[in-house]
Amino acid sequence: MKKYEVDKIRNVGIFGHGGDGKTTLADAILFDTGVNTRMGRVDDGSSLLDYEPEEIHRRISISTAFAYYEWDKHRVTLVDTPGDANFIYDAKACMRVVEGGIIVVGANASVKVQTEVMWAEAASLQLPVIIFISKMDAERARFAETLDDIQKTLNSPQPLPLQIPIGKEKDFKGVIDLLSNKAYIYEGDGSGKYREEAIPQDLAAEAQQYRVKAVETLVEIEDALMEKYLEGGEISLEDLHRCLKKGTAAGKFAPVVCGSSVKNIGMHPLMNVINIALPSPAEKAARQGKNPRTGTEETREAKEDAPFAAYVFKTIADPFAGRLTLFRVYSGGISADTTLYNATKDAKERIGQIFMLEGKKQEPVGFAGPGDIVAVAKLKETTTGDTLCAEKNPIVFQGATPPTAVISYSIKPKAKGDEEKIATSLPKLMEEDPTISISRDLQTKEIILSCMGQVHVDVVLEKLKRKFGVEVDLDVPKVPYKETIKKSVKGIIYRHKKQTGGRGQFAEVHIDIFPLERGKGFEFENALTGMNVPRNFVPAVEKGIVEAIASGVLAGYPVVDVKVRFFDGKSHEVDSSEMAFKIASIMAFKKGVRDASPIFLEPIMKVEISVPEDHVGDVIGDLNGRRGRILGVDSKGHTQIVKANIPMAEVLRYAPDLTSMTGGKGSFTMEYSHYEEVPANISERMIAGAQKEKEEE
């Protein structure tokens, strides 16, 4: 493949809400530039970029896909990202390795939730963006109304229209380029063929109004040009393009263009704006990182003669081809069949063939330099988030932190003996998707799968079956309740005596039981003073108590926050044994707990819920209905952050409820906080349920 100078490289991410046409836009560009010989379509499963079976089935992007094209002596890598909330972290992670973005907004609907999310993410990363108003051919498509909604919702940086449409809905047939004062009329048959014409007379006045505003916004970027404009001087197209690039890079404005990806209208003007307005790797600030040996801050510039440094931002797990590692080169260059240093893991990695990705295809390349996004196969140590570099010039780049999963299920294999398959296959899926979380509840013994939403869970299960041949059953996780006591009981005596012929069993233990502060766990005190109990039986008594606390007297949950004081007992020189004292201590403990006002404890979760202002009342009312305790409400722009403590039992399925309540505009994080006493009415139901379950068994 032909190699370009760094200043001719563009890495461009496509971001926005699912269903607004991101992948279709990329497919149209790839067709027009000859990368694909036919126009790929999401609806019929022929897209070059949505190629996974799970994507074809759902007609949504689940994982970021990559392709590249050449246009006007530039090489552009397109990064097509998911727009569904379940997979939005992948989009955020990939946003960190591009120099510019395209925010896609459908002309037949308002600005949607995930579009706002990605717009805010781009702003926080100071990423220059272009806004593409898609679906101009759709029913109810309105350019002016959509632009107005963008200006109200995505108001910083300022949207700057560079085009207006010719025709609307089914009669949409082209665009007017405001800076060049040209009209592009398309065949409308999907071929992408167009002809250049003068601006239609009925649109001339409107185009002139838009053009004046655009030119005035652009010349403000340079004082000298502004003076020239005010004095009536001629402003050249080159001047306008220079200001467009400067202003976009500085975050002064976001160029707005429009088109129809399905009809393949407006692609070539968009590609021109990408080349003109978005920066090359060489034009971005040097990438910052830390020297892992000294801890000092270091930078890497996008120069071929700089020390090699690259960031691993994505991993693809394939049961046949093995692990495919994707990284972005920030400085220096590497050739195939070389050795690199993983500064994150302090390990050397042998690099074999280097590939550039074109959907699911892999094209070998002999060299990767600054700005390149490439992949290598079968690295042993390297995973997502690692830094590859020259060993003599080590550096570590900081990556994105995966969000906390919000929905959990316990899983078990459908087929006996597949436990090992689960244990080996799930970590491979976690390598390519860091938002998957797997844990084992030590109390309930369940394997817990946690994901970002129900669709995410379904996709993980489909991949488990397709890639690794494992099918699992899902169930709502059991709440890890615990039991404890509210009062002290002293002088508990239990005698274990059994005579069945031959040597018998005899042991008597005297204990006190005390409640401890919440979170203290369990304490055992050996307070023997006399010689009634030989000291060699003390470990057996403690062992019996430890075994007893694993199953409480109310419903069999572990007992916590208790102290047991073993102060006396009796023994028999023949019939006493470790087993006898262990049994006696178990029974003494259970006897004491029954008299010590036993109660249930439930885990309390700390939640932070981000919602628009107009949904705060609904969310707080719902939390109150879930026995939640509101800790406070903070403001962050137009978003309110509701903080609360809420019992785990009430939020096992909170994610879909919050989505329904807020129209998909709410999100939340959740983490364990502490244990609290279960209310009496719920305790009664739990005891009754445990008794019924015991009877059924």
For residue 3, pLDDT beyond 60: no
Q: Name the token pair of 645.
A: 């403590």
- pLDDT of 407-457, one tens digit each? 888 898 888 878 888 888 888 899 889 999 888 877 777 888 988 888 899
The mean of the pLDDT values for the chain is 92
- pLDDT of 361-395, one tens digit each? 999 998 999 999 999 998 999 999 999 999 999 99
pTM of the model: 0.80
Higher pLDDT, 123 or 696: 123
Least confident of 283-292, 332-341, 687-696: 687-696
Cβ of 139: how many Cβ atoms within 10 Å?
A: 8
Q: What pLDDT sits at residue 321? A: 66
Q: What pLDDT sits at residue 443? A: 72
Q: What pLDDT sits at residue 528? A: 93
> What are the two backbone dihedrals, phi and then psi, of residue 122, each rounded to the nearest 5 degrees?
-60, -40
Q: Name the token pair of 523.
A: 């304490």
In contact, 82 and 63? CB cutoff 8 Å: yes
In contact, 460 and 502? CB cutoff 8 Å: no
Distances (CA, A) of 1 to 68, 69, 276, 355: 11, 11, 23, 11
Using pLDDT thresholds of 50, 70 and 90, give the confidence band for residue 617: very high
Q: What pLDDT sits at residue 1? A: 42
Cβ contacts of 250 within 8 Å, gap of 6 or more: 221
Q: What pLDDT sits at residue 283? A: 95
Q: What pLDDT sits at residue 423? A: 85
Q: Name the token pair of 123.
A: 């702003």
56 burial via Cβ count (<10 Å: 0-12, 13-18, 19+): middle
Closest Cα partner for 173 from 187, 162, 161, 191?
A: 187
**Distance (Å, whole) CA 399 – CA 382:** 14
In contact, 526 and 538? CB cutoff 8 Å: yes
Section 482-498 average pLDDT: 95
Q: What pLDDT sits at residue 320? A: 66
Q: Is 357 helix (H, G, I), strand (E, B) or coil?
A: strand
For residue 207, pLDDT beyond 80: yes
In contact, 553 and 477? CB cutoff 8 Å: no
Closest Cα partner for 344 from 288, 404, 289?
A: 289
Q: What pLDDT sits at residue 637? A: 64
Distances (CA, A) of 663 to 114, 175, 204, 466, 614: 12, 34, 41, 32, 11
Q: Is 393 helix (H, G, I), strand (E, B) or coil?
A: coil
Using pLDDT thresholds of 50, 70 and 90, give the confidence band for residue 344: very high
For residue 584, pLDDT beyond 60: yes
Cβ contacts of 234 within 8 Å, gap of 6 or more: none
Q: What pLDDT sits at residue 501? A: 67
Q: Is 143 helix (H, G, I), strand (E, B) or coil?
A: helix
Domains, the chain, with CATH or none: 7-283 (3.40.50.300), 287-389 (2.40.30.10), 407-475 (3.30.70.870), 483-596 (3.30.230.10), 600-681 (3.30.70.240)
In contact, 399 and 288? CB cutoff 8 Å: no
Using pLDDT thresholds of 50, 70 and 90, give the confidence band for residue 475: confident
Q: What pLDDT sits at residue 2? A: 45
Q: What pLDDT sits at residue 296? A: 95
- pLDDT of 8-48, one tens digit each? 999 999 999 988 999 999 999 999 999 998 888 888 888 99
Closest Cα partner for 217 from 204, 229, 202, 200?
A: 229
